[in-house]
Amino acid sequence: MIRGLIIAGLLCLSLSGCWAAVAGVGAEAGYIAAQEDRTALETLEDQRITASVKSAFIADPLVSALDINVDTHKKNVTLRGFVDSDREASRAIELARQTKGVVSVNPQLVKK
């Protein structure tokens, strides 16, 4: 169990958008890291979903993974950041929705 937590934490740290949740940096990070309405398993599942969505963004040539922040709370994904086009935004939303375990996607993406 501890080993799994360490691996999940390291994976999360390697992807942008997760560091704040682990370190508690910034206003939104405090919200993410201090949520008391999730169990440890729910938190790990949310981190897995976030990492999976970011990995899908990294693998997709249309989506700029560095410009989109991914936050997950109880399997609900919020996408925040900047995109070059409506096509990129649609693709990011589609990839997030296709990720295993995602219940909903809340896109808050802004065109550059």
User: What average pLDDT does the segment 15-20 reach?
Assistant: 44
Amino acid at 87: R
The predicted structure's pLDDT at residue 58: 97
Count of structural domains within the chain: 1
Comparing 32 with 60, the larger pLDDT belongs to: 60
Q: Which two tokens stand for residue 75?
A: 């399997």
Comparing 4 with 45, the larger pLDDT belongs to: 45
Q: Range of 14's domain?
A: 2-111
User: How would you label 50-83 residue by residue, b for 16+ Cβ within 10 Å and e otherwise?
Assistant: bbbbbebbeeeeebbbebbbbbbbeeebbbbbeb
Q: Specify the pTM.
A: 0.70
In order of 45, 79, 109, the CA distances from 14 in angstroms are: 17, 18, 23
The answer to whether 42 touches 76, Cβ cutoff 8 Å, is: no
